[in-house]
Structure 1
Amino acid sequence: MTRYTPDRRAGAEKTVTTHMNREQAITEAFVSLTDTVADDVDPLTLLRRLVDHCVSLTAMDAAGVMLVSARGRLQSAVVTEERVEITEMFQAQADEGPCVDAYNAGEPVHADDLAQTDRWPVFTPLARAAGFQAAHSYPLRLREQTIGALNLLARTPTPIPPQDGRLLQALAGTATTSVVTWSREPLRPYDIVTRTQAALSSKGVLDIATGMLAATAQITPVEAGQRLRAYARVHRQRPADIADALVRRALTPQAVLTPRP
């Protein structure tokens, strides 16, 4: 039997530890994306975990997910920062960009350096003005159906190494399956579109609720979203349910914004 002996040369032990930490982080990412039985988990929660993992495990600076609506148009579902949602609005309005192409072709789309491409005459200058110099996208597919696209952005020209590309595709595939099948009810063919649309509807309610919190506390929508999700975690409820309660006035903004004693 071969016994493992750690290399004590300068830097070697740190490299091994870093590798082990990354492997553990990857494992935990996949576990979190398959957690569909907890009462406080919904499709948007799973997609938020996806984009957060994509940023933490790769060289990408920001990420988002666009889902296709019942009308066949891509809409922003979750983002890691507000500027990502701006780039997704550009893509939806102009019907061009990496997410649009990835969704239509069902294949990954890469622009390592936006300054070197003329592929998207409307999207590219707007994305660069938002501070991004690289854009990548992976389709979100379940069986033979594409339900959206993963949006990945970097502030400097940045390619995606093959190993990271495989990881991103695996994360996207796992999240897509979880989002569509998270309900305990059996999945029927037409349920894929129904559940995708339900996630987009939840996003609309969340936007209204975070706007209410932001106006009440005079904070940014991003901060408001963080406060809403924190409240949901403490009370073991889904963020979508908290947002719905706020919009229906069954819960006050002050109740969500006031720290728990």
Structure 2
Amino acid sequence: MTRFNPHGWTGAEKTVTTDMNREQAITEAFVSLTDTLADDVDPLTLLRRLVEHCVRLTGMDAAGVMLVNARGRLQSVVVTEERVEITEIFQTQVSEGPCIDAYTTGRPVHADDLAADADRWPVFTPLARAAGFSAAHSFPLQLRSQTIGALNLLARNPAPVPPEDARLLQALAGTATTSVLTWSREPLRPYDIVTRTQAALSAKAVLDTAAGMLAASAHITPAEGAQRLRTYAIIHHQRPADVAEDLVRRHLTPQAVLAPTP
């Protein structure tokens, strides 16, 4: 039986929910999202697990998470594929789309068929469809009634979210949000929510810089650079954010990260 890999899912594991009991898969998803004590886990790792689980356990094809920055604007943090990040960035630029609405209202937003929502989001909808997506759903990320971002889900074909999946997605999002904000060993105070959200965004910026360094060194895409960084972190039992920090501060060379694994 294919087992859960706490560091993420590989292509060979894409059929996991058809090979194992769904209840077991859901249980393992929640366990992975509460694993905040491991030495190689950081907030970005938890959010990446969230989007991967959301795709694996539902009929959605892609997912991403956006967090609100210090200026009150949503910023893409993790995605399952680059096309999702494009749609998320565009939503922030034009201030419309399911993620924007979910964050603003604090309620889930559903578009089962984007072709029927051209009037709802006249600028976002054509871009999402051009990127190959025909349905979009978003759930707010909340803790203590404070919304810090949104979970974005996309499907290539028109697709509703069944009620049982909606409940699961909300539960996964809530668990991940709590884990991200309480990841630090220090007790969480009300004003720490903003501070820790910004820390996650700062870590994303450093990771992007480090991925760019790897991409330039190996003549690969930034997405491939980010994957190589995460692979290095897993092998060496380090947090991806720490590896990225070492790269940016020149404490670690791109060649060391890019070297073939023994």
Give CA deviations for 1:64-106 in whole Å, capped at 9, x if unaligned: 0000011111000100111100001011111110000000100
Instruction: Determine helix, strand or coil for the equivalent of 2:187.
Output: coil
Matched, 1:172 2:180: no
Aligned with 2:31: secondary structure? helix
1:110 maps to what in 2? 110
Q: Deviations over 1:178-235 (max 9, x none)?
A: 0000000011111000000000011111111111111211222222111111100111
Offset of residue 260 of structure 1: 2.6
Structure 1 counterpart SS, 2:21: helix
Q: Which position in structure 1 is the counterpart of 2:135?
A: 134
Q: Equivalents in 1 of 2:143, 2:236: separation in Å?
A: 32
What's the % identity of the aligned pairs?
81
C-alpha spacing 1:218/1:19, structure 2 compared with 1 (3 Å): closer
3-state secondary structure, aligned to 1:237 = coil
Q: State the partner residue of 1:6.
A: none
Q: Which runs of 5+ in 2 are unaligned?
A: 1-16
Note closer, same or farther for the CA distance 1:208–1:22 as it changes in structure 2 (3 Å cut): same
Other-structure match for 1:51: 51
Deviation at 1:143, TM superposition (A): 1.1
Specify the code of the residue in structure 2 equivalent to 1:24. Q
Where in structure 2 are the equivalents of 1:174-253 lying within 5 Å?
174-253=175-254
Larger Rg computed on CA atoms: 1
Query: Which residue number corresponds to residue 42 of structure 1?
Result: 42
The secondary structure found in structure 1 opposite 2:137 is strand
Q: Residue 11 of structure 1 aligns with which residue?
A: none
Structure 1 portions without partners, runs of 5+: 1-16
Q: Indicate the RMSD between aligned Cα atoms, in angstroms.
A: 1.2
1:31 aligns with 2:24: no
Measured in 1, the distance between the counterparts of 2:141 and 2:19 equals 28
How high is the TM-score relative to the length of structure 2?
0.91
1:100 corresponding residue in structure 2:
100
Distance 2:59 2:255 in 1: 38
Report the CA distance between 1:22 and its aligned residue.
Answer: 1.2
Note the C-alpha offset of 1:38. 0.7
Residue equivalent to 1:76 = 76
CA positional deviation for 1:63:
0.3
2:151 is aligned with 1:147: no
1:39 to partner: Cα distance: 1.2
More displaced stretch, 212-221 vs 52-61: 212-221
Q: SS of the residue aligned with 1:38?
A: coil
What's the offset of the Cα at 1:122?
1.1
Residue type at the aligned position of 2:192: D
Amino acid at match of 1:259: P
- 4+ residue segments displaced more than 6 Å: none
Change (3 A) 1:95 1:205: same
Deviation at 1:161, TM superposition (A): 0.6
1-structure distance, mates of 2:186, 2:220:
39
Looking at structure 2, the residues matched to 152 and 141 of structure 1 have their Cα atoms a distance apart, in angstroms, of 17
TM-score with structure 1 setting the length: 0.92
